[in-house]
């Protein structure tokens, strides 16, 4: 058995994680650990929440954001029209956290896609991020927890330094061992657009 499920069990009964999931599902903005950095997340179908994340980061809306999930099934509405079996097979060949650019079918708004014709998606293996999505019952926005031009938060202390009093909940846990944010690959071409 891999280490991830064992670690995930350690968090499965956490009231703080359950609270963060409830908050995210209800339209709040939460901080949570990911594979390499702390992230900000919300329901990607909630325009008000997504706009809050953009404002917290002081980020240009046209940059778009990643959508993460605990499994491919939860992402299916956004993947209609593409060969999901081929996407799953491609994802199974990579050994590092990888975000895939897939054709945008309009399921998520321009606030999430940045108005592009592609959508960035990742099935996360981080135990807390994965459980957060599962408990929230939906995929979540995932963008690094930092105001624009400042380094991403790599610990809870830095997260609070950036966003104290501005988040609706913070999930427990620590970031993973990845030294860099997720690799980004174009699903259609296989091209690596950002090295991991």
DSSP state letters, 60-79: -GGG--EEEESSSGGGHHHH
The proportion of the chain whose per-residue pLDDT surpasses 70, expressed as a percent, equals: 94
pLDDT for 3 equals 41
Burial class (CB in 10 A: 0-12, 13-18, 19+), 190: exposed
Give residue 13's pLDDT. Answer: 74
pTM score, whole prediction = 0.91
Counting as low any pLDDT under 70, the low residues of the chain are 1-10, 196
Residues 122-161: pLDDT tens digits? Answer: 999 999 999 999 999 999 999 999 999 999 999 999 999 9
């Amino acid at each position: 058995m891999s280490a991830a499920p064992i670690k995930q069990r350690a968090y499965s009964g956490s009231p703080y994680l359950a609270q963060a999931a409830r908050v995210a599902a209800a339209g709040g903005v939460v901080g949570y650990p990911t594979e390499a950095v702390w992230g900000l997340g919300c329901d990607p179908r909630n325009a008000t929440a997504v706009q809050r994340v953009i404002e917290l980061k002081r980020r240009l809306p046209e940059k778009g954001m990643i959508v993460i999930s605990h499994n491919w099934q939860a992402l299916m509405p956004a993947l209609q029209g593409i060969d999901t079996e081929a996407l799953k097979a491609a994802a199974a060949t990579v050994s590092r956290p990888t975000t895939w650019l897939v054709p945008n079918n309009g399921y998520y708004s321009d606030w999430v896609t940045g108005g592009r014709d592609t959508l960035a998606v990742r099935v996360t293996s981080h135990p807390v991020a994965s459980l957060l999505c599962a408990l929230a019952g939906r995929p979540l926005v995932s963008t690094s927890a930092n105001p624009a031009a400042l380094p991403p938060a790599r610990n809870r202390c830095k997260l609070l330094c950036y966003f104290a009093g501005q988040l609706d909940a913070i999930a427990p846990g620590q970031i993973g061992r990845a030294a860099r944010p997720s690799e980004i690959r174009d699903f259609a071409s296989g091209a690596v657009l950002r090295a991991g």
